[in-house]
Structure 1
Amino acid sequence: MKENKPIAGFSKFSKSDKVAWLTEQLSLDAKTSDFLADFETKNHSVQAIIAELSENHLSNFHFPFSVAPNFLVNGRYRVFPLVTEESSVVAALGKAAGFWAKRGGFRAEILGTEKKGQLHFLWAGNPKKLTDNIDDLAQKLRADAAPITKKMEQRGGGIRSIELFYLPDILPDYYQIDVAFDTCDAMGANFINSCLEQFGRSLNDWLSTKDDWREEERQAEIVMAILSNYVPDSRVRVWVECPVEELLEHDAPEDARRFAGKFVRAVHVSRNDVSRAVTHNKGIFNGIDALAIATGNDFRAIEAGGHAFAARNGQYSGLSEAVIHDGLFRFSMELSLAVGVVGGVTALHPMARLAMQILENPSAKELMQYLAVAGLASNWSAVRALVTTGIQQGHMKMHLSNILNSLQATDEQKAAARLYFENKEVSFSDVEQYLKYGAGS
């Protein structure tokens, strides 16, 4: 392999030139170009949309697009579209949906929809001069941003509040203007950032008019103007509940009570031990991410905000909660997240548009609820497995196909292996031995 060297102007190369350079530079297979082309859709208009979503596009990277039916949410059945390479996630969601549909389904409610952005700046003046004049400054900020906020206000959104914070413990002379926004059905990132950048210009315009202030007080240094993915005032609550005795369908009531106690205990551990909490919450985001990706939403922002919310009380904690009270089992979660159902990838990507149709074109508030439901459903199945059969039994069964493919099993071998392992634990070495020596090994 040749020594890898930097290259200038790579983004301006044609796609074929990019592939040719990569193939030559890294000594890739000569058929790499054909291999990459095989993963592109033959629908040229669709392919053009996908190609323009990212920089330096070479091909498409496929993930399965699946569905999980039978989600009863606030009394209405929904089919959840999911994008994930983890087959056990789809299976877990489907099982949880069917289980809780027989017990009244999932309930969800919106607790708030305000998103947040910040103007960070340095100002070398008396803090009281700014705090005493914040109302006048806020009026200026709103007025100058009016051309940006006009259409959002017509849809019922816009700027909800403006607050000033003096934070010298972070940096000398450091301030934040925290702004709450309602972006309706849009994710609103571009809208929020445009408003905040205008606020930076307006702040300095406003300061420049203060002729009776010292010269150094008539100018601020803008550090940055950017939305925050921490959205504690954009929250959803979701829960399921049923009598404890109904948690196990064919077992004795005492077995159901024993299971409920184990479940509550496991969730309690996640709320008090950070090592368990991280994995517990990862299981929640298995479901949330799969639905977020399918609908073209920014799963990275959702995860970042969700994990920050998990640490809102000063210690990172599991997001869900389970309690037993007066014979009733309740499993619930409160989560902060921000989503959009108009614009961006949701509007551009054909599969994201189909996903929204499968969800019956929800509003942003409804999608928030569905995402939280997917998270709680995934968490239910994971914790249930942990306190009963263990996580690996079902997990590895779902991975049997991946193991068989990695071992290049024939179709006949795959069929025989699925039958053989139907009632057995699955591991890579066991499958490898089976393919090598047969069922009698």
Structure 2
Amino acid sequence: MATNSRIPGLRDHTPQERLAMVAESADVDPTALQALLPGDGLSLAHADHMIENVVGLIGIPIGIATNFTVDGIDRLIPMATEEPSVVAAASNAARIARSHGGFSTSYTGDVMVAQIQVLDAVDPHGTRFALLEARDELIALANEQDPTLVSLGGGAFDVSVRVLPTRAGVQVILHLHVDVRDAMGANAVNTMAEAIAPRVAELAHSRTLLRILTNKADLRITRARAVFDGELLGGAQVVDDIVAAAAFAEADPYRAATHNKGIMNGITAVVLATGNDTRAVESGCHSHAARDGRYAALSQFEKDAEGNLVGTLEVPLAVGLVGGATRAHPTAQAAVTLLGVRTAQELAGVIASVGLAQNLAACRALAAEGIQRGHMTLHARTVAASAGASVDEVGAVAARIVAERRIRVEYAREVLAELRNEKHTP
């Protein structure tokens, strides 16, 4: 049975009931998702093998975004985030895109780049040519380090060299291009860079310094596109206003920073849930936003001939399904199982689609009603909990502070005190 990402009324159930419903809709054995539950996921013993000086764990809520169709396949999306409205907003945007086929994606490949820094070259341009002449030798030496990757069809396949003027003098920078297949790739490319650095130094008659990957993964680009129904968005004026808001983000770096933050709300939540490197992805995306020398929006929105909104997003996504926390973290394994992705390419396509959906939802809220209305309604539950409300009291406190438009912790405490007093007054 294929996944059905439409689960009406999911929010009206308890977390335990939701998990059972999600497992059924994804056609996944519920026991495979047990690691999503507190106490069944990452243990202190597991954590002690992941990083140094472990003393405890921090919990981040995992919600399930619904309604997503990506490249013709329904996906239920695990999102790890502490921010209210993100999961609901992405789900609603996916619903609006669903009537026009959902999200379609494309991918440039699984290529990561290692950089080797050459210092003190007497003839930098001659050194560049000498290194390029040794291309095949350097590729062969790099591939000796990871025969498994090569056997899977990956491995080093190209070399490029730049002469780079810096304030510390002219440097020669060698790039080793590596197809990392379904891995994020940091360990593989760093190992290769370390291995070939001594030979690079010999060829350059100089010395090497840094030997490490770049997180500017511009050879690992994922693109997502969707058509959002104009009527479901709220009509022609809303569509036009979203286009105008998007144009603002394309032209102004101050607006672009917040616009892109909305994209990353979706991207980072899925990257974190699947055990991938959030910092690597974030640095890659933000560097891509400045690729033309000015920080700008990562997405674009346009109106098509039928009056619908067409959204497009292009981002570098260095994510994988093998190695790292994706395999070491039991909750990440459960999240990947729920997603049902089989390759890094499929995972990247899902992540980019969620980023575009979240971006559309934020732009629509800004253009149609202001960001605070929906966001603060959901935020009110967090405020109520912060004020000391129990699980049974959160709903009543949140409803009251929203109705009175005083969504502040100090007022939530007053409301909570009143409700408790009423409860105990005969």
Smaller-chain TM-score bracket: 0.7 to 0.9
Question: Which of the numbers 287, 298, 321 marks the counterpart of 1:319?
Answer: 298
> Counterparts of 1:167 and 1:103 in 2: how far apart (Å)?
47
Deviation at 1:42, TM superposition (A): 6.2
The CA deviation string for residues 125-170 of structure 1, in whole angstroms up to 9 with x for no partner, is 2234324433432233223223214221211111121012122345
Contact 1:341 1:363 in 2 (8 A): yes
Question: Which of the numbers 263, 270, 277 marks the counterpart of 2:256?
Answer: 277
Q: Which residue of 2 aligns with 1:103?
A: 100
> Counterparts of 1:325 and 1:401 in 2: how far apart (Å)?
38
Q: Which amino acid aligns with 1:228?
A: T
Q: Which residue of 1 aligns with 2:51?
A: 54
2:91 aligned with 1:94, yes or no?
A: yes
Question: Which of the numbers 145, 154, 158 marks the counterpart of 2:155?
Answer: 158
Q: Which residue of 1 aligns with 2:20?
A: none
Cα gap change, 1:76 to 1:126, in 2 (>3 Å): same
Contact 1:397 1:425 in 2 (8 A): no
> Counterparts of 1:233 and 1:316 in 2: how far apart (Å)?
19
Deviation at 1:437, TM superposition (A): 5.3
Deviation at 1:436, TM superposition (A): 5.0
Find the structure with the greater CA-based Rg.
Answer: 1
Question: Which of the numbers 382, 392, 404 marks the counterpart of 2:384?
Answer: 404
The two structures have a TM-score, normalised by structure 1, of: 0.81
Q: Which amino acid aligns with 1:127?
A: P
Q: Which residue of 1 aligns with 2:415?
A: 434
2:191 aligned with 1:194, yes or no?
A: yes
Matches within 5 A, 1:31-42: none
Task: Please list every run of 5 or more consecutive structure 2 residues that lacks an aligned counterpart in the other structure.
Answer: 1-36, 421-426
Task: Please list every run of 5 or more consecutive structure 1 residues that lacks an aligned counterpart in the other structure.
Answer: 1-39, 208-217, 249-255
> Counterparts of 1:393 and 1:292 in 2: how far apart (Å)?
28
Cα gap change, 1:146 to 1:379, in 2 (>3 Å): closer
Cα gap change, 1:351 to 1:438, in 2 (>3 Å): closer
2:229 aligned with 1:229, yes or no?
A: no
The two structures have a TM-score, normalised by structure 2, of: 0.83
Contact 1:140 1:206 in 2 (8 A): no
Contact 1:400 1:426 in 2 (8 A): no
Matches within 5 A, 1:24-173: 46-173=43-170
Please give the root-mean-square deviation of Cα atoms over the aligned residues, in Å: 2.4
SS at 1:322's partner residue? strand
Contact 1:270 1:276 in 2 (8 A): yes
**% same residue:** 32
Contact 1:393 1:426 in 2 (8 A): no
2:172 aligned with 1:175, yes or no?
A: yes
Question: Which of the numbers 388, 391, 394 marks the counterpart of 1:414?
Answer: 394
Q: Which residue of 1 aligns with 2:328?
A: 348
Question: Which of the numbers 203, 221, 224 marks the counterpart of 1:238?
Answer: 224
Cα gap change, 1:407 to 1:50, in 2 (>3 Å): same
The CA deviation string for residues 296-323 of structure 1, in whole angstroms up to 9 with x for no partner, is 0001100000000000011100111011
> Counterparts of 1:70 and 1:124 in 2: how far apart (Å)?
57
147-156 or 343-352: bigger deviation: 147-156
Deviation at 1:424, TM superposition (A): 5.8
Cα gap change, 1:113 to 1:434, in 2 (>3 Å): same
Q: Which amino acid aligns with 1:303?
A: E
SS at 2:109's partner residue? strand
> Counterparts of 1:117 and 1:403 in 2: how far apart (Å)?
46
Cα gap change, 1:43 to 1:299, in 2 (>3 Å): closer
The CA deviation string for residues 51-72 of structure 1, in whole angstroms up to 9 with x for no partner, is 2211111111111122112211
The CA deviation string for residues 326-375 of structure 1, in whole angstroms up to 9 with x for no partner, is 23421111111211111110011100000010011331001111110111
Q: Which amino acid aligns with 1:434?
A: V
How many residue pairs are counted as aligned between the two chains?
382
Q: Which residue of 1 aligns with 2:24?
A: none
Q: Which residue of 2 aligns with 1:302?
A: 281
